[in-house]
Structure 1
Amino acid sequence: MENRIDSPIHPAPSRPQLPTESLLRLLQLTSPTLPVGAYTYSEGLETLVQQQQLTTAEALERWLGLELSHGAIRLEAAVIFQGMQAIAQGAPATLQYWNDWLSALRETREMREQSWQMGRSLHRLLHTLEPASAEMLEACGEHCNFAIAFAIAAQHWQIDAQTAVLGYLQSWVSNLVTAGVRLIPLGQTTGQQILLNLSPILEETTIAAQALNPDAFYACGCGVAIASMNHETLYSRLFRS
């Protein structure tokens, strides 16, 4: 009989478990009830649906997956990691740099104003709920991008950076799936299936964004930019972008 030594089984590494208070703050930060107006934006989806480019659940899922893998949302996730590190190091100038960088990244006026409006809303909310975060909030100036305000909240509430970014991406996908359910239209169960199917890509994007070198910060989302620019010419509109 052949002798064989079995290799020991090593369990897959697990994400650190959040303390209950931090978990509750993350759920609050990613909740659709957070008063930042995310539900009013479709980020070009409305244009794509009216142009018959997105007409099925499969098309919506593929579009969202490509955006996560190659689009600007991947860079927002990477900047949250950079922003949380700057806050932890007490470096407001670095945080301001990344805020300005995100503003310059926006390819259309609608996308830029969306980020500023949502960031401004979260900025005001944090001023009231967490006055101790004021120094970092003020470092961003008048136009604070939502991803930066999110990073400030996550760091202040001691949320693990990887978990915070995963929550940010999940919230982004949930909002656009909801938009797709209304626009295409799709059933609620179908929307939930899309969310479930995208779970692996959400985790992959989070891990990739954390490892991404700032010299490699690039995105490929020209289709989204064109859809956003055409949004204002639509015959009827439900969303602001």
Structure 2
Amino acid sequence: MFDPALLKLLQLSDSALPIGSYSHSWGLETWVQQGQLSSSDELLAVLRTLLEQSIAPVDGLACAMAYQASANRLGGPDFIQLNQILTATKWAKEPQRASLDLGRRLVSLAQRLDWLQELPPGQYWHHCTVFGWLTYQLNIAIEPAVTAYLLSNLMSLTSAAVRLIPLGHSQGQQVLAALHTQVFEQARWCCATAGRADPLTHLGSFTPQHELACQAHQNLYSRLFQS
């Protein structure tokens, strides 16, 4: 059966989507240059930790909350506040700017594709909130949307690691496949938490070494990636 929503979700979560995500390493370049990330086993450990301690409880949850905001249309302030909190949470300059740039470019692309029925409230949007807002408008169910968002983040990180370490493409795919169960579990947690009365109280991460790596990236002697 033809499912246009599924096709759009697959296209949105493709790492080749022309919004610039392939040009960011999100701090991995720092660790590779420092010799702290040099194998597929280390990459698997890093991605599992980032997924469970940072990506899902911040951007994944925000994606689910933005989906709910798009579904409920409960005015702009809640959505605007969510983006403001994300900006404050992402204190390292490069990933903060990258997240906002990707959000802006995704809005622009969605408009050109005629996929965006209604602009998100406010003027500044993070990638995760635009993804959540847009997937509701495309009639994509919340759990597949958030699952795809989390996996696309890991795909972007894996793509950067394959080029940086370097790794074989098959090794990168093995790392991603090993994380499927965690991706599904974290997506379910994000969706369930977004439906609570106080989801903002659950939004937060604790990955100080990764945040320091992101901040240190701008001072590396040579860089292949923007963040």
Q: Shorter-chain TM-score: what band?
A: over 0.9
What is the aligned residue count? 221
Whole-Å separation in 2 of the counterparts to 1:56 and 1:132: 41
Whole-Å separation in 2 of the counterparts to 1:112 and 1:197: 28
1:5: which partner in 2? none
**1:195 equivalent in alignment to 2:139:** no
Whole-Å separation in 2 of the counterparts to 1:19 and 1:221: 42
| 1:226–1:132 CA distance, 2 compared to 1 (3 A) | closer
- Structure 2 segments unaligned to the other structure (5+ residues): 194-198
Shift of 1:140: 2.5
Whole-Å separation in 2 of the counterparts to 1:37 and 1:200: 27
> Of the candidates 61, 73, 79, which is equivalent to residue 90 of structure 1?
73
Shift of 1:121: 0.5
Amino acid at match of 1:50: Q
**1:156 equivalent in alignment to 2:142:** no
Q: Secondary structure at the match of 2:117?
A: helix
Q: How does 1:160-239 map to 2 (within 5 A)?
A: 160-212=141-193, 213-239=199-225
Amino acid at match of 2:53: H
Contact in 1 for aligned 2:56/2:190 (Cα 8 Å) = no
1:63: which partner in 2? 46
1:103: which partner in 2? 87
Whole-Å separation in 1 of the counterparts to 2:115 and 2:143: 25
Whole-Å separation in 2 of the counterparts to 1:196 and 1:175: 14
Shift of 1:33: 2.7
Tell which deviates more after alignment, 210-219 or 33-42. 210-219
Whole-Å separation in 2 of the counterparts to 1:240 and 1:60: 20
| 1:19–1:67 CA distance, 2 compared to 1 (3 A) | farther
Contact in 2 for aligned 1:37/1:118 (Cα 8 Å) = yes
Aligned-residue sequence identity (percent) comes to 31
1:30: which partner in 2? 13
Larger radius of gyration: 1
Shift of 1:161: 0.6
Contact in 2 for aligned 1:133/1:152 (Cα 8 Å) = no
Shift of 1:131: 6.8
> Of the candidates 43, 52, 55, which is equivalent to residue 26 of structure 2?
43
Spell out, residue by residue over 1:100-140, the C-alpha distance to the aligned partner (whole angstroms, 9 max, x if none).
Answer: 12111112110110001101101111222237533x32x13
Amino acid at match of 1:218: G
Tell which deviates more after alignment, 184-193 or 72-81. 72-81
2:196: which partner in 1? none
- Structure 1 segments unaligned to the other structure (5+ residues): 1-17
RMSD, matched Cα: 1.6
Contact in 1 for aligned 2:63/2:128 (Cα 8 Å) = yes
Whole-Å separation in 2 of the counterparts to 1:51 and 1:31: 30
Spell out, residue by residue over 1:191-217, the C-alpha distance to the aligned partner (whole angstroms, 9 max, x if none).
Answer: 110011011111111112223343222
Amino acid at match of 2:32: V
Tell which deviates more after alignment, 186-195 or 204-213. 204-213
> Of the candidates 75, 91, 96, which is equivalent to residue 112 of structure 1?
96
